[in-house]
Structure 1
Amino acid sequence: MRQNPARRTALLDAAIEVLAREGSRGLTLRAIDKEAGVPVGTASNYFVNRDELLGQVMRRTRERLAPDPAALAATMERAPSRELATELMRQLLARMRADRASNLAMLELRQEATRRPDLHAELSGFLSAEHQEVIDHHLDAGLPGDRTGVALMYFAMLGMIVDDLTIPAVLEPYSTDELIEQMVARLLTPHPPQGS
């Protein structure tokens, strides 16, 4: 059967909303059809099985959460510095807050992956590769810090994002801007001068 790419994207966006709102147990093809406002049975024409659906939802969340290339390029015109790294982390948190559904869906996918070996393998490979790309991009851009410091910074940001999404009261006593500034300052030491 011939499939419409725009319809597939709309179904995946609907699946993300259902997953974020209802959790993994609420994610049914019928629920996706209802959320997308399409006739019952439409989603079943696009997804062979649940594993395929979950894998496609995972990839769609990453598309939705990726930075806008033009905005990122404009930010990266600044000289490499701790200030630039701080700004990038602030933008990351802002993107995560702007698409709460995609982040909550990803948390649900992480939990589902503990029970589904195929999803676990796909999610592990995908997120590991994404993590390495982020570190490589940071270091290739000449930003301060070493591989371990950058990894620690992103793991710390993930913890902050999870709390911000799920139990924001934990962060209420703090300024997230200040936390990010301190995190970058403590974890990203400048590269030593050449020849040292």
Structure 2
Amino acid sequence: MRQNTARRTALLDAAIEVLAKEGSRGLTLRAVDKEAGVPTGTTTNYFANRAELLRQIMARTHERLTPDPAALAETMKAKPTPELTATLLRQLLDRMRADRSSHLAMLELRLEATRRPELQEDLTRTFTAMLEANIAWHLDAGLPGDHDTVLLLYIAMLGVIVDDLTVPGLLEPYGIEKIIDVLVQRSLPRQQPTT
């Protein structure tokens, strides 16, 4: 297998685009070559098979959707309040919208995993690690809420993101900003000062 990191990344980015546009059935090594604008057979030189390509797509989408550390550090200068949590959720949605292809590719991988047990295992392991890391980050950052609250926020935001990216008109009448505000208010009610 070839080791040119820049070329491998470009091929993975092309695979994400194919997966987002054509679905898992349209994801072939040849389709990735075409999307990347490289000679036929190039993808085969970098990925042993389609299963290996799917595993590496998972890692690449995670890289692409991870927040910029400097921007996140700037956001985290604020006091850890429910309002900061709402800001972080809005930024999450903004990242998904900015890289719609990565999130749609991940949705396609989820669907493909229902038909491929080995991919199901990989996805479960990957998503479990990501979810637990996100929960730990939230708690370590001193943001309000406990483990279960963060889990519920994750589940709710996943639904918001899926609807926003796939049928945006569905939630539009309700206002995404308002949905996020209500979600945070109901999940993390403001503590009343004790006297």
TM-score normalised to structure 2 length: 0.95
For these two proteins, the number of residue pairs brought into alignment is 193
CA distance in 1: counterparts of 2:21 and 2:47, whole angstroms = 21
> Deviation at 1:190?
5.7
Partner in structure 1 of residue 95 of structure 2: 95
CA contact under 8 A between 1:97 and 1:165: conserved in structure 2?
Answer: yes
Who is 2:79 aligned against?
A: 79
Residue 45 of structure 1: aligned partner: 45
Are 1:70 and 2:70 matched, yes or no? yes
CA contact (8 A) 1:14 1:32 kept: yes
Is residue 175 of structure 2 the alignment partner of residue 166 of structure 1? no
What residue in structure 2 maps to residue 156 of structure 1?
156
Q: 1:83 to 1:48 in 2, by over 3 A?
A: same
Query: Partner residue of 1:131?
Result: 131
Output one character per residue of 1:126-177: Cα deviation in whole Å (capped at 9) or x when no partner.
1011101111111111111111111101110000000011111111211111
Across the aligned residues of Structure 1 and Structure 2, the Cα RMSD in angstroms comes to: 1.4
8 Å Cα contact 1:29-1:44 kept in structure 2: yes
Counterpart CA distance in 2 for 1:191 and 1:89 is 20
Distance in 1 separating the partners of 2:2 and 2:88:
41
Cα distance in 2 between the residues matched to 1:152 and 1:189: 14
State the 1:3 CA deviation.
Answer: 2.4
Q: Deviations over 1:69-114 (max 9, x none)?
A: 1000110111110110010000000000000000110000000111
Q: Could you tell me how far 1:178 is from its partner in structure 2? A: 1.0
Quick check: 1:122 aligned with 2:122?
Answer: yes
Normalising by the residue count of structure 1, what TM-score does the alignment of the two structures yield?
0.95
SS for the counterpart of 1:145 is: coil
Distance 2:187 2:110 in 1: 26
* Secondary structure of 1:172 counterpart: helix
Whether the 8 Å CA contact 1:11–1:33 is kept in 2: the answer is yes
Percent of residue pairs identical: 65
Aligned to 2:33: 33
Equivalent in the alignment of 2:8? 8
**Residue 146 (structure 2) pairs with residue 146 (structure 1):** yes
Q: Identify unmatched segments of 5+ residues in structure 1.
A: none
Deviation at 1:191, TM superposition (A): 7.5
Secondary structure in structure 2 of the residue aligned to 1:163: helix
Letter in 2 for 1:173: P
User: Which deviates more, 60-69 or 181-190?
Assistant: 181-190
Q: Distance in 1 between matches of 2:78 and 2:113?
A: 39
Matches of 2:178 and 2:136 in 1, distance apart?
25
